[in-house]
Amino acid sequence: MTLSPENPERTPDLQVRLDPAGKPLAIRCEGRIWLVDPATESRHWIGGDTRPATRRSAAAGGANLAGSEYWRVEARLGSNSAPRTFTLRRNPRTVRWLLDDISDGG
Per-residue model confidence as pLDDT tens digits over 22-57: 999 999 998 899 999 988 999 999 986 544 544 444
Residue 78 scores a pLDDT above 70: yes
Q: At 17, is the pLDDT very low, low, confident or very high (cuts 50, 70, 90)?
A: very high
How many structural domains are present in the chain?
Answer: 1
Does a structural domain hold residue 51? yes
Is the distance from CB of 43 to CB of 91 less than 8 angstroms? no
CA distance 95 to 106: 29
DSSP-H helix ranges across 1-106: none
Would the pTM of this model clear 0.75, i.e. be above it? Answer: no
The torsion angle over the Cα atoms of residues 90, 32, 10 and 48, rounded to 10 degrees, is 20
Residue 97 scores a pLDDT above 80: yes
pLDDT at 55: 42
Does a structural domain hold residue 3? no
Mean pLDDT of all residues in the chain? 78
pLDDT at 2: 45
Does a structural domain hold residue 6? no
Task: Identify each DSSP E strand in 2-96 by its residue range.
Answer: 15-18, 24-29, 32-36, 43-47, 68-76, 84-90
Domain region containing 20: 15-104
pLDDT at 106: 59
- Report helix, strand or coil for 40: coil
